[in-house]
Chain A
């Protein structure tokens, strides 16, 4: 057992004499001599020291050293090839930053602060994501297996309650990924013009990653550089930022609020939680000799993990001097070897990416491909591979260990990758809307190492390492005709963002069909209870945002024309009849005469001559026409036969004046004099209480007559004459001493009050009620119960009385025809109009039913 060493990283067994693990290339033998301890991880708070990166080469993984050595071999060729700048290959070789694309994913989080499902339930239309015309091909190269994409079945996997009205609009944008391909190509070319750190031997994937990352790091503060939903951000990347920040639960906010590089420069060292271990290590070491391109990935790592400056503000770390960044570049990357990618192999069908996925679980595919322990060379048991990924190794770079740990924790939760956030618009903005700070950055970087760009066309596809081929997509999702169209288009772009690129635009107009990459599920891991609560929240919000119609009363529109028609028909006929004094309609001649009317006649005839009679005038002046006509026959007979001494009183304000009118007009022929033949006691306030009080003591309550004092010559003498000074009123101290009590009223309540409040005091005094036709039915029971002796009801009752009074005074006869004519027309209008409106109403109802 002594001759076997167990790899601390992957756990596999190696021979004791091996310096590196034969499986994962992890250093097994500790460094000695001057390099002793260099492979030890930098601890938090440890200050970086200036080192010669060349001294650090032994600690590099073997695969990286091999890459560096091969790069050295072709360094001179790279310079020459860069001068040629022939770029047009679809598989653009770009300087490789191992973490290319990380920032783009991180930046994408900024835009999508609000998940779509939340946006949809609030009723707002989510921001339409910018069209992505990126090719999924590049995405596969950059991000790994196509299975990691989520666009295809995103909506299908979304719960119905999460599917808002706006989701459909944003969905196509997410699916369209063609622009990724072009975008990366453009970035690559641009980066090749500015940063030339790599030689032609650099693997294409590294080139593309590095160049893309350079561009993305430069445009990071741009506002509109994200187009992918936040949910598409891989959890492992999100966790990186979250773990670093740990101060805010919101991953998006974390990305935006992470400490900037300037914080480091200013001595504001972030807490250990905020800076990943691997970054701390590199900061402490601070390698001296490193190219500016090598710094890019470091910058990206810093910003991608721990830094995400707010939009619109210049990242402090970008303002810092480039040499300072260079100083922090790890030495092991300084001389990173590059490899020549054979063009023939590039187009080959490589290993199934899904298989690679299965092997590495949720490890990012680009990392799987980049990792030297890739199973492409040697297959290991799956458990062993996973274990190897999880185990930190002292020999492996700290940043890699960090990823391993993060991924291991997140491997069971979420998919590894999301679709690329970069859009064509963003790539345009990359060059057109470049802010000052970014321009500065470009100048500095371009002036650092003006090297020639690698030309992918010079790379034979067969030179691609198999592990790189393994991470290329097997099924790009693009149909062959489309691919052929791209491949056959060799137009060299000469202007714009794609200047210098060849074959990046579709040869034919229109939108190239895109294959639908397989999607990973973004379905929330929500329990039924949570979904029910979310559903409830959605309904609550929907109820609050839904406009509530302010249903008003269903008013029937007014018909002015109908009013005029009624008025004209009614008044014209009545006027004609009244003016012509027609007697077409016969007077009622009920025989025998109704008992109530007959009782009234009996009372009138039974009054002693000159006896006091109390009269309550309780009607409004509006009804004076009806009430005077109703009362006139009875008073006519009574005055004609007995000439009683009348006492008028009223609880209405206008009663006194109406009394005077009645005496002076209806009874004008009898020449009754105020104070002599009649007493007008005027207004009796207090309603029922006043009546009750008056019934108790008439002379005390109504002491004065409502008439001018005949002795007063002065108009402004407001004194009232005493009422009860003459006989027979002087001796009438109670209601029972009146010969009769006549109530003339248009209101049943008035009659009722007078009847009830005087019951105890009036004794046997007969009561006769002359009422309007409207109030008569309610007074009828008092006659039925013999509380009153007679009842004259409106004009009909007056007509009956006149019939039995020799037609005197003729008032009822004068009104009778007009009265009858008016009623007939009213009945006709009601019946005809009612039927007409019934038909209209039925029609409206049917129309409403049909409308519903």
Chain B
């Protein structure tokens, strides 16, 4: 194991144990605050790193004239313009509001619209892709929950279905979701312990 990796493992384990201990031992609170501030700074800087990574990847695509490099060029130009405008003008400037209202929100809203079509498409084709009881229950539940949140003309809410949807949401789905989340939490716990033990080293090293 290289020295750099060993050092990184040491830093990781030490930081993790100190942060964990600070939650239980009050004398270590100042360490936690210190680390929190560092983490916030690093997280903010990481945003800039991600920004640079995005530029590098797409400029590389443009340089190699890969497929779709036109879009990459467009992305880089748009990113640079928006960054500079936001940096100089601030978000409350009318130009930034125009960029937001004219580009960012419509683009993401369009993605949301595509998402709705995609989800409908997936639901329709689900029984073709996986024909089993689970899929049938999945579709019926989705349809009932949909109907439970709407009103019908001249009648209002659909009583039975509304009650059923409420029950499913608050009892059935919520119970299952809680169970899944507990499992996810346990998985997160063991994964974090592996990182603390230095077994998982996402920061590199063999």
Interface residues of A (CB under 8 A from B): 556, 559, 562-563, 566-567, 570-571, 584-590, 620-625, 653-654, 656-661, 664, 674, 680, 682-683, 685-687, 689-690, 692-693, 696, 701, 706-708, 715-716, 718, 773, 777-778, 780-781, 796, 819-820, 822-824, 826-827, 829-831, 833-834, 836-838, 840-842, 844-845
Contacts and interface: CB of A to CB of B under 8 A. Distances in A.
Given A556-B129, A708-B93, A829 B174 contact: no
Given A657-B100, A674-B92, A777-B177, 6 more contacts: A624-B109, A659-B91, A689-B36, A777-B170, A833-B123, A837-B128
A838 B39 CA distance: 52
B199 to A, nearest CB: 24
A718 B87 contact: yes
A520 B170 CA distance: 86
Contacts of B87: 718
B57 to A, nearest CB: 18
A656 B91 contact: yes
B170 A566 contact: no
Among B124, B147, B153, the most chain A Cβ lie within 10 Å of the Cβ of: B124
Q: Give 7 nearest A-B pairs by CB, closest first.
A: A833-B124, A622-B108, A686-B40, A685-B44, A837-B128, A708-B90, A685-B43
A715 B89 contact: yes
A837 B124 contact: yes
B130 to A, nearest CB: 9
A588 B170 CA distance: 19
Contacts of B149: 773, 796, 823
Contact of A780 (B127, B157, B170): B170
B112 A827 contact: no
A396 B69 CA distance: 96
A588 B152 CA distance: 10
A814 B39 CA distance: 44
B89 A827 contact: no
A470 to B, nearest CB: 81
B124 A830 contact: yes
Contact of B43 (A661, A687, A834): A687
Nearest to A556: B129
B150 interface: yes
Contacts of B97: 657, 660-661, 664
Nearest to A840: B128
A773 B146 CA distance: 11
A588 B89 CA distance: 43
Contacts of B177: 777-778
B49 interface: no
Contacts of A682: 91
Contacts of B153: 584-586
A777 B167 CA distance: 11
Contact of A707 (B33, B92, B113, B152): B92
Nearest to B37: A693
Contacts of B37: 693
B173 interface: yes
Interface of B: 33, 36-37, 39-41, 43-44, 47, 86-93, 96-97, 100-101, 104-105, 108-109, 111-113, 116-118, 120-121, 123-129, 131, 136, 139, 142-143, 146-147, 149-157, 169-170, 173-174, 177-178
A570 B91 contact: no
A837 B125 contact: yes
B150 A585 contact: yes
Given A570-B120, A833-B124, A588 B92 contact: no
B40 A781 contact: no
Nearest to A559: B125
A622 B43 contact: no
Given A566-B117, A590-B157, A841-B128, A620 B40 contact: no
Contact of B101 (A661, A685, A706, A829): A661
Given A589-B156, A708-B90, A778 B131 contact: no
- Of B36, B129, B154, chain A has the most CB atoms within 10 Å of the CB of B36
17 contacts: A562-B124, A570-B116, A588-B157, A622-B109, A657-B91, A657-B96, A658-B100, A674-B92, A708-B93, A718-B87, A777-B173, A777-B174, A829-B123, A833-B123, A834-B123, A836-B124, A842-B131
A586 B104 CA distance: 33
A571 B112 CA distance: 13
Contacts of A778: 174, 177
A824 B33 CA distance: 52
Contact of B146 (A621, A689, A693, A826): A826
A660 B97 CA distance: 8
A654 B108 CA distance: 12
B127 A837 contact: yes
Contact of A715 (B88, B143, B147, B169): B88
Contact of A621 (B36, B88, B105, B151): B105
A468 B146 CA distance: 105
Contacts of A716: 88
A677 to B, nearest CB: 13
Contacts of A780: 169-170, 174
